[in-house]
Amino acid sequence: MSDPITPKLDFIREIIADDLATGKHATTITRFPPEPNGYLHIGHAKSICLNFGIALENAAVGAKCHLRFDDTNPEKEETEYVESIKADVKWLGFDWAENLYFASDYFTFFYDCAVHLIREGKAYVEQQSAEEMRANRGNLITPGTPSPFRERPVEENLDLFARMKAGEFKEGDCVLRAKIDLAAANMNLRDPVLYRIMHAHHHNTGDAWCIYPLYDFAHPLEDALENITHSLCTLEFENHRPLYDWFIDNCPVPSKPRQIEFARLNLTYTVMSKRKLLQLVQEGHVGGWDDPRLPTISGLRRRGYPPEAVVHFCKRVGITKFSGTTDVALLEFDVRDFLNNSAPRRMAVLDPVKVVLENWSAEPLTHVEVSNHPQNPEAGSRDIPISNEVWIEREDFMEFPEKKFHRLGPDRHVRLKGGHIIRCTGFEKDASGGISLIRAEILPNTIGADSPLGVECKAAIHWVDVATSVDAEVRIYDRLFTVEDPDAAEGGFLTVINPDSLKILTAKIEPSLATADAGFSCQFERTGYFIADATDHHPGVTPVFNRTVALRDSWVKKGGR
């Protein structure tokens, strides 16, 4: 990238550097703990870059990052999500090596910790209804009212909890609660629920369990069991930290992880909650989890965003304690910046109009040599066919050229990129007044040569040979929402979906593009960056290209190019 980011020390990296310097820890173990209930999005990429990044930066002291599936909730998880999450982490360039874990493997440990709390008089089986519990929790001013079951003897709690586990109760009949502090200012400490009954099948443990731990209870135990040193999560868990610490202090755990919170990533013109993404997918507003308009990692990949650009973006956004919203244009900038250097150039005409080269018969050429990357000679060149008719972009011709328009118009000259200078000798219109055909002549011997004396030629335009061009489906993606903050839309985010977020064109492409492999990424000269679609592009059969991002288009507003 043109702007390499040296990882500056954010407040989390400072804490870690300090812990290593003072010898509090000999190394660091972080973790990325997704719940496999949806596909990952770019917000998760921020967390992945942070956790795996810290492990890489401290590799010299043996630092590691665990990939842990937080699959303690039996109802929402699917193996499809597990596989997609693994693929996404790898695609971003990170490697969990042998450190792959599933929280559901710890169910016995969670259970033992719960029994330990009961024995210590720090947990009890609650038989009030959920409504009663809510009503008795109190509020910021009033302390909670003790449950009639709060002072049950230990033996009775042990017996009831064992019977909960054995499946003797229906869902909702009882829960296990920690006995902490009903007057605590932090509501999370007012006897939180540790276990609930769910007669549900789990993808890993099958029907072995019918009681499942809650996130707040399970998560610190998972961290401690894996010897996580720094448990990094987003700011909404700040209020849960005292509870996290309480579990660490009161359960028989092998280590003492420290929770540190940072601001989550929010982006303009998109939604990021998994629930909303799921709704967009399930209700068919988009084509699937990997729809290129979604902020999912699989969507970005299918759209042609290079992983390096996504990682660079995450580093640039940085880690802070203050929530804010990042302009999606910043991400698009990084994508362009990366592709500008790396993507080979090809030619495709998105809105074609035919130019007949009337004096072509005198020309012996069948191909011209065109550079694959003007700023990078190492990218080499390719031969593209040319004959007496070429497609050019409709907007590269003006019947009445504006002042700063340097391209084709009646009696004007323009260069066909890599080829001749041509002069427009006439044009035809269709019934509706649109240009239907342009007539031109080539100026012989102008390939790779300056314009002859007296000929003004300031621009080179892209083109494709009519005889050998191939029709391709080209998908032009725009932002999925019409407003910066779809979550705040009065009628809900679905009411502000951009009806023009996908336009499908039939473009004329040079033959080499038709046979390119799926996933081939390039710049269509002067138009934008495109990628051969991973799913629908079949080389030599049906070419399909997705627009990754447009080039900055200055001439439309300011003129001149």
User: Interface residues with ligand ATP (CB under 6 A)?
Assistant: 33-35, 43-44, 46-47, 233-234, 264-265, 272-274
3-state helix, strand, coil in the chain (%, to 5): 30, 25, 45
Q: Which is nearer to ligand ATP, 197 or 319 (CB)?
A: 319
269, 377, 457 from 446: Cα distances, Å: 47, 22, 11
Tokens describing residue 523: 């710049």
CA angle 122, 126, 128 (to 5 degrees): 150
Q: In angstroms, what is the minimal distance from the CB of 51 to ligand ATP?
A: 8
**Minimum CB–partner distance for residue 191 and ligand ATP (Å):** 24
Distance, CA of 415 to CA of 526 (rounded, Å): 14
CB 45 to ligand ATP: min, Å: 8
Q: Which among 46, 241, 274, 547 is annotated as catalytic?
A: 274
How far, in Å, CA of 282 to CA of 294, rounded?
13
Q: How far is the CB of 313 from ligand ATP (least distance, A)?
A: 12
CA torsion sign for 102, 105, 108, 112 is negative
Nearest to 339 by CA among 382, 370, 310: 310
User: Residues 35, 132, 308, 441: which is the catalytic one?
Assistant: 35
Pairing of strands 175-178, 123-126: antiparallel
Residue 486 contacts residue 496 (beta carbons within 8 Å): yes
Task: Kindly state the smallest distance separating residue 429's Cβ from ligand ATP, in Å.
Answer: 53
Of residues 297 and 507, the one with the C-beta less far from ligand ATP: 297
**Catalytic residue list contains 165:** no
* Closest CB to ligand ATP among residues 46, 258: 46
Q: Could you give the 3-state DSSP secondary structure of residue 4?
A: coil
Concerning whether 389 is annotated as a catalytic residue, the answer is no
User: Which residue is nearest to ligand ATP, using beta carbons?
Assistant: 43
Q: How far apart are CA 431 and CA 423, in angstroms?
A: 25
Q: Report the C-alpha gap between 530 and 519 in whole angstroms.
A: 10
Q: Is 264 a catalytic residue?
A: yes
Q: Which is nearer to ligand ATP, 274 or 420 (CB)?
A: 274
Q: Position 201: which residue type?
A: H
Residue 342, SS3 per DSSP: helix
Q: Which is nearer to ligand ATP, 71 or 396 (CB)?
A: 71
- State which residue, 285 or 394, has the beta carbon closest to ligand ATP: 285
Backbone angles phi, psi at 463, to 5 degrees: -160, 165
How many helices (H) and strands (E) are present in the chain, helices listed first? 14, 25
Give the three-state DSSP class for 429.
strand
Q: Output the DSSP codes for 451-516.
A: PPTT-----EE-EEETTT-EEEEEEEE--SBSSS-GGG-TT-GGGGB-TTSEEEEEEEE-HHHHTP
Q: Identify residue 202 by its one-letter amino acid code.
A: H
Which residue's CB is nearer to ligand ATP, number 239 or number 273?
273
What's the rounded Cα separation, in Å, for the pair 331 and 300? 11
HEC-encoded secondary structure of 182-201: CCCCCHHHCCCEEEEECCCC
76, 122, 256, 264: the active-site residue: 264
Smallest separation (angstroms) from ligand ATP to the CB of 33: 5
Q: Cβ 70 to ligand ATP, closest distance in Å?
A: 6
CB of residue 302 to ligand ATP, shortest distance in Å: 19
Residue 5: CB minimum distance to ligand ATP, A: 18
Choose between 48 and 457: whose C-beta lies nearer to ligand ATP. Answer: 48
First-to-last alpha carbon distance for the chain, in angstroms, is: 24
Which residue lies nearer to ligand ATP by CB, 197 or 272? 272
Closest separation between CB of residue 301 and ligand ATP, Å?
A: 18
Phi and psi angles of residue 189, each rounded to the nearest 5 degrees, phi first:
-90, 0
- One-letter-per-residue 3-state SS of 25-75: CCCCEEEECCCCCCCCEHHHHHHHHHHHHHHHHCHHHCCEEEEEECCCCCC
Q: Which is nearer to ligand ATP, 43 or 486 (CB)?
A: 43
The catalytic residue positions are: 35, 264, 274
